[in-house]
Amino acid sequence: MYTLLISIPDSNMTDSQAKNGATQSNPPLAYSAEEWSKIETVLLDMDGTLLDLHFDNYFWLQFMPIKYAELFGIENEEAHKVLKQASEETLGTLNWYCLDYWSERLNMPVAALKQDIVEKIQYRPYVKDFLEMLKQQGKRAVIVTNAHRDSVNLKMANTGLDQLVDRIISSHDYQEPKESQAFWQHLQQDEPFDLENTLLIDDSQAVLASAKKWGFKHLLTIFHPDSQKAPNTDSEHPGIHHFNELLHEERLDDQELEKDDKK
C-alpha cells in the first residue's frame, strides 16, 4: 500500500525558498494513492520544474544585459531593450532556446558566459526526494526539455541530475520545440509512452497547451518556478507549488528495512 512519509527538505534548498513556504512538509497530495498508482511514466521539464528558474532568469534578464552593455559600450537600459526585443522576436521557437543561435546573433560566447554564474544552478525543493521515490516505485522518469544540449550538460555537471532519471531528451534532438505538435510526434516514436498513464510536469503554459492538444490526460504545472519570485497560480492546468505535493511513498516492510541495515 502507498502511504505518505514525512519528507525531508531538500538539502540544496535556499533560505529564501524555505521562507517562501517550501518547508511545509505535508501539504495535501495532488493525486490520491489510487490515481498515483496508475501513473507509470513521468515526463519532466528541466528549467523551472526540476531546477530553479532563477538561474535562467538571472542570466538573461540581469547578467547578459550588463555584459552586452560592456561589450558594445552602451547603457544598460539600451542593452535591456535590445535583448528584450530579440527575445520577443524568437519566443516560442527553437531559436529562443538555442545557445548557438544567441552566440551568433549577439556575438557573445553564451555557453561560456553561463559558467560565470554556475553557483546559481540549484534544485527546486523536494526534487531529489521525488525522483528517488519514482525510482523506488519503478516508474520511468524522463527529462523532456527545450534547453540546448550545452545548457543541459552544464546543468547536469553542476547538479548530478542525470544520475536520478532514466533518460534526457532535448527538443533540439528533434529540431522542434515542445510548443510544436511535431515534437510530440517525434517523442512518441523515440520514447513510446501511453497517454493513459503518463504524467507531464512543466512550468510553461505554452508547452502544457501543446501537450494537451496532443492528447495528454495528466498534466501539472509548477506554480513557483523561480525561487526569487512570488508564486503564480494563474493557470488553466492543475499544478503544484513543490514536489512534496506528490510524495507518495511505498512503505518498506520490516524485512526490507532489516536487509538494508545489513548492507
Q: Under the rule (CB under 5 A), what is the footprint of Mg ion?
A: 45, 47-48, 203
Closest approach of Mg ion to the CB of residue 39, in Å:
20
Identity of the residue, 5 or 212, whose beta carbon is nearer to Mg ion in the bound complex: 212
Closest approach of Mg ion to the CB of residue 177, in Å:
12
Closest approach of Mg ion to the CB of residue 48, in Å:
4
- The helix or strand, by DSSP H or E, that contains position 196, with its residue range, turns out to be none
Closest approach of Mg ion to the CB of residue 132, in Å:
21
Identity of the residue, 39 or 51, whose beta carbon is nearer to Mg ion in the bound complex: 51
Identity of the residue, 79 or 168, whose beta carbon is nearer to Mg ion in the bound complex: 168
Residues in Cβ contact with 238 at an 8 Å cutoff, skipping those fewer than 6 apart: 30, 219, 220, 221
Q: Which strands sit side by side in the sheet containing 218-222, from one edge to the other?
A: 167-170, 140-145, 41-44, 198-201, 218-222, 239-240
- The helix or strand, by DSSP H or E, that contains position 74, with its residue range, turns out to be none
Would you tell me the crossing angle of helices 99-106 and 76-90 to the nearest 10 degrees? 140
Identity of the residue, 97 or 174, whose beta carbon is nearer to Mg ion in the bound complex: 97
SS3 167: strand
Position closest to Mg ion via CB: 48
